[in-house]
Amino acid sequence: MRVLSGIQPTGNLHLGNYLGAIRNWVKMQDEMPAMAAQAGMANNGKNADSQCFFFLADMHSITVHEGREQRIRNVRDMAAALVASGIDPDRSVLFNQARVPAHAELAWLLNGTARIGWLNRMTQFKDKAGKDREGASVGLFVYPVLQAADILLYQATHVPVGEDQKQHLELSRDIATKFNTDFGADIFTLPAPIIPKESARIMSLRDGTAKMSKSDPSDLSRINLTDEDDAIMTKVKKAKTDPEPLPETAEGLAGRPEANNLVGIYATLSNSTPDTVCAEFAGKGFGAFKPALGELLVETLRPMRQRFLELRTDDAALDAILDKGAAKATAAAEPTLRAAYDAMGLMR
Ligand code: ADP
Ligand code: TRP
């Protein structure tokens, strides 16, 4: 069992990034020994290399224009955020793509396998390229091929991602199948996406119909990983709501996007469900609910913030974590990369 996922190192991490992506990785890392043991029983105990790989997709980030210093900062910020959120670099392999050239090498080999027609169907490209398709970079177009390389290099079996990445995972499977068939070799494992059921989509605190995002001009719309306790409290208290009290069940949240979002955040943070949260606060107004939510957020985020700020004071230590992860990743990727070159008759 090989778990692998990547995240683009973008600055200004917020609650949406944590609850929507990073927290799922931490869960998978922590549950890995038990899951692997279970899979191992059905697999004659061959679970020796069950492992989690988590990386910063900095090579993908070239599709967004960014200055040199900012990009360097973003990678260290995201690395620190992952460690502060519970990714343990001793148990999981944590690195950035640029430190492992095998990603770029395999992506080039897979460019011979991927078809233009397949890439033309990718909705993320269409969304990001917008109307000016001819003006979009080639990097943006072949982005999913690099993503396939990220996954196939490590024989990943389970890839935790958001719903929006499902199509890229299907493409990775198509590329793996075609490569295996074309070169008559069973080189790549077909990866399966792991999409959390209660897919936490955290919405803006100012507008329950817009997603919480780093690019929202209003800082009151999001909770940042670096927000102090009182800033978190203020933002929750200022969050948009409606005048109705909380309903008895989650059904009563229909048509109330802001209320639904706040209850959803509370449920996710407390490992509960919207129904349970509604049952607890039924009939109470937001004047009672917001302080409880603020408190829960403060208690959850404080230790992460403190660890993050501590890690961010030592660039060399962070770089050493990434170097160590990259060395492990390079070693894990080498047999597959070698087999791919060899299958194609490329001697290196
Ligand atoms: P942003 O929208 O702030 O630019 P990114 O697109 O860089 O965030 O997303 C980084 C990761 O965080 C992705 O895995 C994405 O699915 C997740 N993510 C971002 N915003 C949210 C949100 N509001 N709710 C849930 N997950 C989110
Ligand atoms: N494209 C993914 C995103 O935008 C990030 C990513 C890059 C990724 N390579 C990956 C995710 C490999 C899973 C596996 O969220």
Whether 331 and 173 have beta carbons less than 8 Å apart is answered as no
Q: Which of 27, 46, 126, 128 is catalytic?
A: 128
pLDDT of res. 47: 46
Share of the chain above pLDDT 90, in %: 88
Report the pLDDT averaged over residues 18-27: 92
- How many angstroms is it from 335 CA to the middle of ligand 2? 22
Whether 289 and 246 have beta carbons less than 8 Å apart is answered as yes
Q: Which of 27, 126, 178, 214 is catalytic?
A: 214
pLDDT band of residue 323 (cuts 50, 70, 90) is very high
The answer to whether residue 166 is catalytic is: no
CA distances from 7 to 82, 184, 258 (A): 10, 33, 27
169 plus 237 within the same structural domain: no
- The two three-digit tokens of residue 255, written as one number: 């048509």
Please give the DSSP secondary-structure letter assigned to residue 155.
T
CATH number of 287's domain = 1.10.240.10
pLDDT of res. 199: 60
- The two three-digit tokens of residue 61, written as one number: 């980030």
237 plus 96 within the same structural domain: no
How many C-beta neighbours within 10 Å does residue 240 have? Answer: 17
Q: How many residues does the chain have?
A: 348
The answer to whether residue 214 is catalytic is: yes
Q: Is residue 208 part of a domain?
A: no
pLDDT of res. 240: 97
158 plus 255 within the same structural domain: no
Whether 16 and 202 have beta carbons less than 8 Å apart is answered as yes
176 plus 228 within the same structural domain: no
- How many angstroms is it from 345 CA to the middle of ligand 1? 41
Q: Is residue 22 part of a domain?
A: yes
Residue 53 phi/psi, 5-degree rounding, is -115, 120
Atom of ligand 2 nearest to the CA of 147: 9
- Residue of higher predicted confidence among 199 and 219: 219
Atom of ligand 2 nearest to the CA of 160: 13
Share of the chain above pLDDT 70, in %: 97
Summarize pLDDT for 133-188 with one digit per residue, the tens.
999 999 999 999 999 999 999 999 999 998 889 999 999 999 999 999 999 999 99
84 plus 181 within the same structural domain: yes
CA pair distance 86, 303, nearest whole angstrom? 11
- The two three-digit tokens of residue 285, written as one number: 């107004």
33 plus 97 within the same structural domain: yes
Least confident of 47-61, 98-112, 124-138, 207-221: 47-61
How many C-beta neighbours within 10 Å does residue 173 have? Answer: 18
Summarize pLDDT for 41-58 with one digit per residue, the tens.
555 544 457 899 999 999
Q: Which residue of 8, 13, 17, 224 sits with most ligand 1 atoms within 8 Å of its CB, as the best mutation to test the pocket?
A: 17
pLDDT of res. 198: 64
pLDDT band of residue 197 (cuts 50, 70, 90) is confident
CA distances from 36 to 1, 43, 54, 148 (A): 6, 10, 17, 24
- Is the confidence at residue 77, as pLDDT, over 90? yes
Summarize pLDDT for 227-246 with one digit per residue, the tens.
999 999 999 999 999 999 99
122 plus 155 within the same structural domain: yes
pLDDT of res. 6: 97
Q: Which residues line ligand 2 (CB under 6 A)?
A: 4-8, 57, 60, 147, 150-151, 159, 161, 165
Range of the domain at 9: 2-200+315-344
179 plus 227 within the same structural domain: no
- Is the confidence at residue 15, as pLDDT, over 90? yes
Report the pLDDT averaged over residues 197-201: 71
Cβ neighbors of 204 (< 8 A, separation 6 or more) are: 210, 211, 212, 213, 216, 218, 221, 222
Burial of 273 (0-12, 13-18, 19+ CB in 10 A): middle
Nearest to 149 by CA among 6, 313, 348: 6
Placement of tokens 């692998």 in the chain:
4
Report the pLDDT averaged over residues 243-271: 96
CATH number of 102's domain = 3.40.50.620
Q: Is residue 140 part of a domain?
A: yes
Q: What does pLDDT average to over the chain?
A: 94
Q: Is residue 84 part of a domain?
A: yes
264 plus 324 within the same structural domain: no
185 plus 58 within the same structural domain: yes
The answer to whether residue 128 is catalytic is: yes
Question: Does the Cβ of 175 fall within 6 Å of ligand 1?
Answer: no
Summarize pLDDT for 264-298 with one digit per residue, the tens.
999 999 999 999 999 999 999 999 999 999 999 99
150 plus 230 within the same structural domain: no
Placement of tokens 């979009």 in the chain:
136
Atom of ligand 2 nearest to the CA of 21: 15
69 plus 6 within the same structural domain: yes
- The two three-digit tokens of residue 236, written as one number: 């929750």
Placement of tokens 């778990």 in the chain:
3
Q: Which of 27, 126, 197, 211 is catalytic?
A: 211
- The two three-digit tokens of residue 283, written as one number: 């009939």
Total domains in the chain come to 2
Q: Is residue 42 part of a domain?
A: yes
CA pair distance 85, 22, nearest whole angstrom? 7
Question: Does the Cβ of 209 fall within 6 Å of ligand 1?
Answer: no
- Is the confidence at residue 107, as pLDDT, over 60? yes
pLDDT of res. 45: 47
Q: Is residue 211 part of a domain?
A: no
